Amino acid sequence: MAADRGAVGSPPRRSAPSSSHQRQRDKMQIPDEKKSTYCDLPIKQQRRKLVQAVKDNPFLIVTGRTGSGKTTQLPKYLYEAGFSKHGTIGVTQPRKVAAISVAQRVAEEMNCSLGSLVGYQVRFDDCSSQDTAIKYMTDGCLLRHMMVDPDLTKFSVIILDEAHERTLTTDILFGLLKKLFQEKSPNRKEHLKVVVMSATIELVGLSAFFGNCPVVDIPGKIFPVKEIFCNLIGPKDKENSSYVNAVVKVTIEIHLNESAGDILVFLTGQSEIERTCELLFQKAESIDYQYDVQDHSIDGLLILPLYGAMPTEQQRRIFLPPPPGIRKCVVSTNISATSLTIDGIRYVVDGGFVKQLNHNPRLGLDMLEVVPISKSEAMQRTGRAGRTSSGTCFRIYNQDFWDQCMPDYMIPEIKRTSLTSVILTLKCLAIHDVIRFPYLERPDEKLILEALKHLYQCDAIDRSGHVTKLGLSMAEFPLSPNLTRAILKAASLDCEDLLLPIAAMLSVESVFIRPGEAEKQEEAELRHQELSSQAGGFNDFATLAIIFEQCKSSPSPSAWCQKHWIHWRCLQSAFRVEGQLREIIRKLKQQPDFPRESFDGPRQEILRRCLCTGYFTNVARR
């Protein structure tokens, strides 16, 4: 357990042996009655109709409230109806956590081990085998798969899930699949079927896009949810982060004053969630239950964080019912709005904000920004409180915030992020005319041209816009084009060893443990500063490389991590990623025409040159 100290996502571990939360958590197990709940999900009634509709139509849209059983049950129905005889049933998810946790759940329901009949594949982690009939994967993985198998010959059904999220990759997949059917590719198998699933029916144009394909709606019941504006945040608070404190206040008040039922809190990201959990722990611990709780008996609050980068083992306990008399409180990113359903929630605390990737065309950079959620998003969050009984949604903001700051809908990602990676993918798929590609919603032509320019400057495409040999090599890497370009430069100089640790460390979540308690925080910061000063001060990349190397060469890497307040689990992932990147390079280098260069100079100079080759857009002249 020692290595688990402060693992990302674990709520701040308290040293006192009185850690009742910990003990409660350890007691949680999957009860039998829970295992059978999937038998009465709303989708069950539509089973026959759904299977028939998939048989009869190349494209089908399935909509239904979150929690109706779309993600976990439909793939199973199709498997049982024999679809997998013609190939794998592939289900895409925009988020890695959802892909893994849903696969786990379905494997459990089908009584098989994960990676056998039911498996998953996400970036840098493939848990599937020859026998895998139902494969959950991120939409990015399917897109990459299409580069080696553009006709999807290995699949019998492709289910594009969570379509309402409108991620960039899902949008591109829409176009690619439409094209696949339009072109009547000679390799496309007769029986390939495409199902698009969405939690909302707002996808008006989608059926028309797929040749007016049928839409099956799964009616699901929802109990009434009371909506309360707590008025703690107004339009003026759009820019600051006081929402963390507001969320904590509302949550504790619910715990003290409302009758039994679990709480789901919506926040923006990992650090805010960890901070909130820490504050909740402190507050919940100081509650004197004898005096504070009025008319009912609540023993305690079980606080569980949930966010994208969370380790798999920790995600599972989110779904388990709390021990009797304990109220569960899940503090989550937007992932719980539609991607994952947690049962037993009666209270929702809506923090009002979300992290969104926006492209700044002036800087040429994608930036993760905290922005107010849309009204449609707020309604999704509200709905989470009414799944198993009537509930209440507490919105920390006021009516003015709702009216003035929250847009009706989110702008789809394709209209607000850099298109460099996907345009390169399209080029590798021999889709030359990226402007006339069948987009569900056409991105701004400026964004397309900017991406083309960037790719040209990276030597990934030539003057006429065709992908170059280098571009093809770049597409092999599941990394940003900038980083990939730097790695390939290093490989051509035969010194990829310099760059791979950095690339691997950039591909995993932050390795630095930031404990909540003040004194520990100081110690951790001191340790981190020591590491950074070995790297010559403020050089982030060099610090990452030093952490990687020192840990790897240490006789006891996990102890090394503990000593330096570094997440051992993240470093393990980084080691794995480094190995996989090394393997890609090894294969590329076997090609006879792999470019070779030479440069005599100190290692640091070579490293700087490689980084400049990749990150040339971030260079300034002094």
**Positions in the binding site for Mg ion (CB under 5 A):** 70-71
Taking the complex as a whole, the smallest distance from the CB of residue 72 to ligand CDP amounts, in Å, to 3
Query: How far apart, in whole angstroms, are the C-alpha atoms of residue 141 and residue 230?
Result: 41
Taking the complex as a whole, the smallest distance from the CB of residue 386 to Mg ion amounts, in Å, to 17
- Residue among 307 and 568 whose Cβ is closer to ligand CDP: 307
Q: How many residues bind ligand CDP (CB under 6 A)?
A: 18
Query: How far apart, in whole angstroms, are the C-alpha atoms of residue 380 and residue 383?
Result: 5
In the three-class reduction of DSSP (H, G, I as helix; E, B as strand; rest coil), residue 434 is classed as coil
Task: Kindly give, in sequence order, each residue whose CB lies less than 8 Å from that of residue 187, ignoring residues fewer than 6 positions away.
Answer: 151, 153
Q: Which residue is nearest to Mg ion (CB)?
A: 71
Query: How far apart, in whole angstroms, are the C-alpha atoms of residue 78 and residue 270?
Result: 36
Q: Kindly tell me which residue out of 76, 105, 359, 567 binds ligand CDP, with binding defined by CB under 6 A.
A: 105
Residue 341 in the binding site for ligand CDP (CB under 6 A): yes
Residue 359 in the binding site for ligand CDP (CB under 6 A): no
64, interface contact from ligand CDP, Mg ion, none, CB < 5-8 Å by kind: ligand CDP
322, interface contact from Mg ion, ligand CDP, none, CB < 5-8 Å by kind: none
- Residue among 199 and 419 whose Cβ is closer to Mg ion: 199
Query: How far apart, in whole angstroms, are the C-alpha atoms of residue 112 and residue 532?
Result: 46
Contact window for ligand CDP (CB under 6 A) among 59-67, 354-362, 412-420, 431-439: 59-67
Q: Which residues, in sequence order, are bridge partners of residue 437? A: none
Residue 71 in the binding site for ligand CDP (CB under 6 A): yes
x-marked contacts with ligand CDP along 389-418 as a string, rule CB under 6 A: ------------------------------
Query: How far apart, in whole angstroms, are the C-alpha atoms of residue 436 and residue 417?
Result: 19
Taking the complex as a whole, the smallest distance from the CB of residue 109 to ligand CDP amounts, in Å, to 9
Query: How far apart, in whole angstroms, are the C-alpha atoms of residue 504 and residue 377?
Result: 34
Q: β-strand 353-360 against 88-93: which pairing, if any?
A: unpaired
102, interface contact from Mg ion, ligand CDP, none, CB < 5-8 Å by kind: ligand CDP
Residue 102 in the binding site for ligand CDP (CB under 6 A): yes
Taking the complex as a whole, the smallest distance from the CB of residue 94 to Mg ion amounts, in Å, to 11
- Residue among 381 and 528 whose Cβ is closer to ligand CDP: 381
Residue among 506, 465, 509 nearest 487 (CA): 506
Residue 332 in the binding site for ligand CDP (CB under 6 A): no
Contact window for ligand CDP (CB under 6 A) among 34-42, 148-156, 450-458, 525-533: 34-42
Whether 102 and 312 have beta carbons less than 8 Å apart is answered as: no
Taking the complex as a whole, the smallest distance from the CB of residue 332 to ligand CDP amounts, in Å, to 13
Taking the complex as a whole, the smallest distance from the CB of residue 328 to ligand CDP amounts, in Å, to 13
- Residue among 98 and 248 whose Cβ is closer to ligand CDP: 98
Q: How far is CA 123 from the centre of its chain?
A: 11
Helical H segments across 320-389, by residue range: 335-338, 375-383
Query: How far apart, in whole angstroms, are the C-alpha atoms of residue 157 and residue 62?
Result: 14
Two structure tokens written together for 482: 């900038």
Taking the complex as a whole, the smallest distance from the CB of residue 145 to ligand CDP amounts, in Å, to 22
Whether 251 and 328 have beta carbons less than 8 Å apart is answered as: no
Residue 543 in the binding site for ligand CDP (CB under 6 A): no
Task: Kindly give the interhelix angle for 496-507 and 481-492, rounded to the nearest 10 degrees.
Answer: 160
x-marked contacts with ligand CDP along 82-101 as a string, rule CB under 6 A: -------------------x
Helical H segments across 476-517, by residue range: 481-492, 496-507
Q: Which amino acid is at 351?
A: G
Instruction: List strand residue ranges (DSSP E) for 515-575, in order.
Output: none
Residues that bind ligand CDP (CB under 6 A): 37-38, 41, 64, 66-73, 101-102, 105, 319, 341, 343
